[in-house]
């Protein structure tokens, strides 16, 4: 961005309106574009003018299930420009381009000491809001970022890095955390089931760890993107049995590790079947509570491990920032659809019902001021 653009952003940050547009969750599958007050900030806080917010599957599940009370404003993969800072803020000033995490743990409690940060009470207190109950707030024009997030969860976006690239910092962190839970070793074979944006990021991280990566998806269009990123062991699950195909490629054993990057419980059994005896299966997208049938002998007799991973790790924050800001992968390539805030209902509908050609969907309140 040139000097003129930076000056323009600073000028804009000086005139903050009293109201703004936001996509407000009012109940099950009921999200409405409304005019709401711009949130006020206090000491140690900042007000972020949102440019881009990725649509995450966890928000979609909350909207569809009604698991959270209404009204709320969701959206947590958020990048934008600092519009105002509260008393005592020294790291940031109006005009700074930043990306924000919405969860940061206390680092002192029992769960933090045991590195299960997502179970920390402070972590569960969402630290970003566009109004109502704090729920991320990125599906709005402005977001209030609370003091502990300003201090430990707000990251400058370097010159030359787009808001779109930067908004992937949090999802990349969650993928890195999943890889850490999987304990993948160099030269192991891993099957990644699902090649949506998250599945592709997980595939890239598995390759980065030195694994031989096999990918599968029902949509050939997604596999073409995977292939363009240098992956050549592909399974078109619409035409082939992924379990059988993996066994054929591993001397009949199955994969050392399987990553299930699709939020379908019915795929848990095939994922377990695709893993070799003594192998591991990572459930990454199973965020809805419920019951599934699992063969207990697969875990006991076959010694397969079923592991899970949820949300981000503060220990991986710096690494995820480096990965994104150094452009180890051009993550903007994963964005298939960009919607202005006024079309947020369309954006959420498409993201909730992905099509063969749809990948990452983002909502961009900043479309109006670029």
The two tokens of residue 193 are 């089931």
User: Does residue 150 sit in the same domain as residue 181?
Assistant: no
Beta strands 30-37 and 97-100 are unpaired
What's the pLDDT tens digit per position in 18-34?
A: 999 999 999 999 999 99
User: Does residue 37 sit in the same domain as residue 116?
Assistant: yes
For the four alpha carbons of 238, 241, 245 and 247, in that order, the dihedral sign comes to positive
Alpha-carbon 125 to chain mean position:
18
User: Does residue 138 sit in the same domain as residue 206?
Assistant: no
DSSP state, 72?
Answer: B
CB-CB contact of 63 with 348 (8 Å) = yes
The two tokens of residue 161 are 């890095």
Q: How far is CA 95 from CA 3, 138, 165, 266, 369, in A?
A: 12, 18, 18, 47, 13
Q: Establish if 107 belongs to a structural domain.
A: yes
User: Does residue 235 sit in the same domain as residue 298?
Assistant: yes
The two tokens of residue 216 are 């599968």
Q: Establish if 314 belongs to a structural domain.
A: no
pLDDT at site 2: 37
Alpha-carbon 186 to chain mean position:
25
The two tokens of residue 335 are 């964005």
pLDDT at site 112: 97
Count of structural domains, the chain: 2
CB-CB contact of 17 with 49 (8 Å) = no
Q: Establish if 144 belongs to a structural domain.
A: yes
CB-CB contact of 362 with 54 (8 Å) = yes
pLDDT at site 25: 97
Q: Establish if 250 belongs to a structural domain.
A: yes
Q: What is the pLDDT along the chain (370 residues), one digit of tens a residue?
A: 333 333 334 444 458 999 999 999 999 999 999 999 999 999 999 999 999 999 999 999 999 999 999 999 999 999 999 999 999 999 999 999 999 999 999 999 999 999 999 999 999 999 999 999 999 999 999 999 999 999 999 999 999 999 999 999 999 999 999 999 999 999 999 999 999 999 999 999 999 999 999 999 999 999 999 999 999 999 999 999 999 999 999 999 999 999 999 989 999 999 999 999 999 999 998 888 889 889 999 999 999 999 999 999 999 999 999 999 999 999 999 999 999 999 999 999 999 999 999 999 999 998 876 6
Reported pTM: 0.93
What is the DSSP track for 122-152? Answer: HHHS--EESSSB-S---SBSEEEE-HHHHHH
Q: Establish if 319 belongs to a structural domain.
A: no
Q: Establish if 259 belongs to a structural domain.
A: yes
The two tokens of residue 212 are 């031989």
The two tokens of residue 69 are 């009370």
Q: Distance (Å, rounded) from C-alpha 272 to C-alpha 266?
A: 11
pLDDT at site 1: 37
Q: Establish if 167 belongs to a structural domain.
A: no
Residue recorded with tokens 């969750």: 25
User: Does residue 67 sit in the same domain as residue 145?
Assistant: yes
User: Does residue 222 sit in the same domain as residue 270?
Assistant: yes
Q: Distance (Å, rounded) from C-alpha 134 to C-alpha 129?
A: 4
Q: Establish if 22 belongs to a structural domain.
A: yes
CB-CB contact of 269 with 275 (8 Å) = no
For the four alpha carbons of 187, 188, 194 and 199, in that order, the dihedral sign comes to negative
User: Does residue 129 sit in the same domain as residue 106?
Assistant: yes
User: Does residue 73 sit in the same domain as residue 150?
Assistant: yes
The two tokens of residue 90 are 């020294």
pLDDT at site 3: 35
User: Does residue 182 sit in the same domain as residue 211?
Assistant: yes
Longest dimension (CA), the chain: 66
User: Does residue 299 sit in the same domain as residue 188?
Assistant: yes
Q: How far is CA 305 from CA 94, 173, 260, 274, 299, in A?
A: 49, 23, 13, 12, 6
Range of the domain at 141: 3-161+327-369
Cis previous bond, 71, omega within 30 = yes
User: Does residue 101 sit in the same domain as residue 47?
Assistant: yes
Q: Where are the beta strands (DSSP E) in 5-101?
A: 19-27, 30-37, 46-54, 77-85, 97-100
- Kindly report the length of the chain: 370
User: Does residue 351 sit in the same domain as residue 281?
Assistant: no
Residue recorded with tokens 């590790």: 257
CATH number where 363 lies: 3.90.180.10
Q: Distance (Å, rounded) from C-alpha 5 to C-alpha 262?
A: 40
């Amino acid at each position: 961005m040139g000097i003129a653009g930076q000056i323009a952003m600073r000028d804009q940050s000086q005139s903050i309106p009293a109201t703004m547009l936001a996509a407000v969750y009012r109940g099950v599958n009921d999200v409405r574009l409304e005019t709401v007050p711009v949130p006020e900030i206090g000491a140690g806080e900042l007000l972020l003018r949102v440019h881009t917010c990725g649509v995450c599957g966890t928000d979609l599940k909350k909207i569809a299930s009604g698991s959270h009370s209404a009204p709320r404003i969701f959206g947590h993969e958020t990048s934008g420009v600092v519009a105002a800072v509260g008393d005592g803020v020294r790291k940031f000033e109006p005009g700074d381009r930043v990306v924000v995490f919405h969860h940061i743990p206390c680092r002192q409690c029992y769960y933090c000491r045991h590195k299960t940060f997502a179970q920390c009470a402070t972590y569960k207190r969402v630290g970003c809001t566009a109004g109502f109950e704090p729920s991320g707030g990125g599906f709005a024009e402005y977001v209030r970022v609370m003091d502990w997030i300003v201090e430990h969860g707000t990251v400058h976006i370097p010159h030359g890095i787009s808001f779109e690239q930067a908004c992937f910092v949090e999802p990349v962190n969650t993928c890195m955390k999943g890889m850490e839970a999987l304990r993948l070793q160099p030269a192991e074979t891993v099957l990644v089931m699902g090649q949506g944006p998250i599945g592709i990021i997980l595939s890239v991280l598995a390759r980065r760890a030195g694994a031989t990566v096999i990918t599968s998806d029902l949509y050939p269009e997604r596999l073409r993107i995977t292939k363009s990123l240098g992956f050549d062991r592909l399974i078109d699950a619409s035409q082939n049995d992924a379990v059988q195909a993996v066994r054929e490629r591993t001397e009949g054993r199955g994969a050392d590790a399987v990553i299930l990057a699709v939020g379908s419980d019915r795929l848990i059994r095939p994922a377990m079947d695709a893993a070799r005896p003594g192998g591991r299966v990572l459930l990454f997208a199973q965020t809805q509570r419920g019951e599934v049938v699992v063969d207990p002998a697969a875990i006991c007799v076959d010694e397969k491990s079923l592991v899970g991973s949820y949300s981000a790790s503060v220990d991986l924050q710096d690494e995820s920032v480096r990965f994104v800001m150094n452009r180890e992968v051009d993550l903007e390539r994963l964005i298939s659809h960009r919607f202005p805030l006024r079309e947020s209902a369309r954006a959420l509908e498409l993201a909730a019902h992905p099509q063969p050609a749809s990948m990452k969907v983002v909502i961009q309140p900043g479309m109006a001021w670029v």
